[in-house]
Structure 1
Amino acid sequence: MVYPKKFDWEKLQSFCSKIFVKAGVSKENADIVAESLIMADLRGVDSHGVVRTAIYLERIEKKMIDPLAVPEIESQDFATALLNGNNNLGAVVGTKAVEIALEKAKDRGAAIVGVKGSNHFGTGAYYALKAMEKNMILLVMSNASQTMPPTGGKRPFIGTNPLAVGVPAGKETPFLLDMATSVVARGKIIVAAQKGIEIPIGWAIDKKGRSTTDPEEALEGAVLPLGGPKGYAISMFIDILSGVLTGAGFGKYVYNMYENWEQPQNVGHLFIALDIERFMPIEVFKNRMDCYIKELKAEPKSEGVDEILIPGELEFRKVEERKQHGIELPKKVVSELDQIGKRYSINLLDAVICEIEEREEMNEC
């Protein structure tokens, strides 16, 4: 079979949702997980897109994730809450936490929601976008399993613990920071390994602590902190707030979803929501943001630079491009999804963009 490369985002999202339903996830929650994965692919963050479908399913099938669990609030007061995800899918738990944070922030001006008992929750941007739709500012952080050494070490101890911040604007592109605290997200190394391509020097070290461009060696070793000691320190404070503070796992007690088949991950998250209208009318704020962004982008440019961009701007453009022209997937990912579809009697080819050239042994769209 010649594998297609491009897929309609809505049909691919529907395919993923149907797969999760067949695996025992409720339709509502399956839609959340599928939307989270497709949003990552649309934004060009392929390391957190449908490439994660197989591992999510495997952990469900091997009882490492409980798709029927109901996340519950263990404690709360005026502006805080602690949510126990009870080992449901990370995107489901994260979405519930955001709903609580936004509701509390609307009533009280600000809210902090800690999460324990969760799993890999996708991209922080997914949640920040939900807040921006409600004219809220959201800070999102999560810990992760051991993939990064402390500065001076050679063995992984902390995760590539991500941080995301979303701030709405008016007519200008909103500010949306979504970053790992490593030089690069480990998922990008996984994608490089799947594509069989080298990674840049400085991304990772092998298990002996030596720099490597081999993604397989990097996956056996460790990714490196962004900015050396600074990235290490940021990752550590995220682990403290997301893990130590919430009662979730931290350090070596956040279990690797690819390697540990004995225990749930017990990932921790922290969501901080701010209601802009407690500071000024939303339209005034958006006008001020537009002014700020316009003036920043109008700054003199360095030689060879065509445009000054703000965090998230390239990803917003990528969303529009991929919605129009399709999501391109590596052959290995297509093959994996195709096999999953056959296992659950759902046809992946239904999500193919019709304008592809390769037709050999394929049904017409």
Structure 2
Amino acid sequence: MYDWAKLQQFCEQVFARAGVPRANAAIVAESLVQADLRGVESHGVVRTDIYMKRVEAGRMNPHAEPAVVSERDMVTLLDGSNNFGAVVGTRALDIAMARAKANGASIVGVRGSNHFGTGAYYALKAIEQDLILLVMSNASQTMPPTGGVRPFLGTNPLCVGVPAGQEQPFLLDMATSVVARGKIIVAAQKGEPIPSGWAIDKDGNPTNDAQAALNGSVLPLGGPKGYAISMFIDILSGVLTGAGYGKYVNNMYENWEEPQQVGHFFIAVDVSRFMPVEQFKRRMDDYIRLIKAEPKAQGVEEILIPGELEHRQTLLRKRQGIRLPLKVAMELDAIGQKYGLDVSAAAFGEGSIMGGSIA
């Protein structure tokens, strides 16, 4: 098990020693570890290795400053200048929040970015400012259009965060595929099969083999509905912003000649423009409690709201630590050795290898 704060510090130091400005290194490390805390391992420190390789290969520019291309009324267009997606996303969020406070609502479109982690990373920060946030991003091709076989769309994620009072906030963070492709990557690393219905192989056949799925396509959530939502996100994040779209969003694991050209889309809404914030939070609490008080199906102990399980997972992992797959732990160890750092210092106890994981 790894102490989350020490693991985050390790990742920050690794990025910094690789030449990433310290402030940017801190943002990227925080976004990765927060994903692991929430139980979204597919977007956690498992991404450290590929991020480092792209920096070392010159495919990302950690020194570039995201630049405002245009700004009018409530709408801003930001060019990420090929910096880390989490750095670009944080800059976009800061603009969206400031302009929402000033104008009541704001839209920030982003081009020239990279994989930006989980949408929840940004939504939680907006919730702290009593803002409602919708954030979406496109991604490289991993999902076919309904009726197709070849990947064309990404598993383009959608996240919505809404503040509440005493209850946990509403926090929906979802891929538009049946499952995030990162979970298939994790299954492949562990040598584990994947459930039926997650993916097809390169010939369009259903598969339980994680590696065959990575060579094929993940499937849209809800069939044509997930396909349509993913396409909509690609239009807003890619076509509208000037970023890549469809086949023009480059795969960070496979394309070592070009930047990713990922696009994002942020919409922030100031709750106080509709009613006093405390009144809204009381109404949200009442709404959530009404849902939780609904009759439960047989065998169901509790009705949960989106984001509640992840919040509980965060509290648990902050107390008990984060367990990493052996392959990820070994990758971090190798990266640490390269930069004169010891990841085992972040482990509880002696950091010994047990049961296929570093415990």
- Classify the TM-score, shorter chain: over 0.9
Amino acid at match of 1:173: Q
Counterpart Cα distance in 2 of 1:63 and 1:44 = 31
Secondary structure of 2:233's aligned partner: helix
- Partner residue of 1:51? 46
Amino acid at match of 1:203: W
1:40-63 Cα shifts (integer Å, max 9, x gaps): 000000000000000000000000
- Partner residue of 2:4? 9
Residues 289 and 355 of structure 1, relative CA distance in 2, 3 Å threshold: farther
Mapped contact 2:332–2:343 kept (Cα < 8 A): yes
- Partner residue of 1:100? 95
- Partner residue of 1:167? 162
- Equivalent in 222, 225, 228 of residue 223 of structure 2: 228
- Equivalent in 326, 330, 334 of residue 335 of structure 1: 330
Is 1:302–2:297 an aligned residue pair? Answer: yes
Counterpart Cα distance in 2 of 1:254 and 1:332 = 28
- Once the two structures are TM-superposed, the CA of residue 145 in structure 1 deviates from its matched residue by 0.2
- Once the two structures are TM-superposed, the CA of residue 24 in structure 1 deviates from its matched residue by 1.0
- Partner residue of 1:244? 239
Counterpart Cα distance in 1 of 2:294 and 2:263 = 39
- Equivalent in 113, 124, 133 of residue 129 of structure 1: 124
Structure 1 segment 212-223 matched on structure 2, within 5 A: 212-223=207-218
Structure 1 segment 204-219 matched on structure 2, within 5 A: 204-219=199-214
RMSD: 1.1
Mapped contact 2:162–2:169 kept (Cα < 8 A): yes
- Partner residue of 2:145? 150
Counterpart Cα distance in 1 of 2:339 and 2:349 = 23
Aligned length: 355
Is 1:291–2:291 an aligned residue pair? Answer: no
* Structure 2: tracts of 5 or more residues without a match: 355-359
* Structure 1: tracts of 5 or more residues without a match: 1-5, 360-365
Runs of 4 or more, structure 1, over 6 Å off, are none
- Equivalent in 46, 60, 66 of residue 65 of structure 1: 60
Secondary structure of 1:320's aligned partner: helix
Counterpart Cα distance in 1 of 2:318 and 2:350 = 14
Mapped contact 2:344–2:350 kept (Cα < 8 A): no
1:159-202 Cα shifts (integer Å, max 9, x gaps): 00000000010000110000000000000000000111000010
Is 1:114–2:109 an aligned residue pair? Answer: yes
- Partner residue of 1:84? 79
- Once the two structures are TM-superposed, the CA of residue 23 in structure 1 deviates from its matched residue by 1.1
Secondary structure of 2:182's aligned partner: helix
Residues 220 and 247 of structure 1, relative CA distance in 2, 3 Å threshold: same
- Once the two structures are TM-superposed, the CA of residue 356 in structure 1 deviates from its matched residue by 6.5
Amino acid at match of 2:288: I
- Once the two structures are TM-superposed, the CA of residue 354 in structure 1 deviates from its matched residue by 2.4
- Equivalent in 171, 185, 188 of residue 176 of structure 1: 171
Counterpart Cα distance in 2 of 1:299 and 1:312 = 18
Structure 1 segment 243-262 matched on structure 2, within 5 A: 243-262=238-257
Counterpart Cα distance in 1 of 2:57 and 2:158 = 30
Mapped contact 2:344–2:351 kept (Cα < 8 A): no
Structure 1 segment 193-204 matched on structure 2, within 5 A: 193-204=188-199
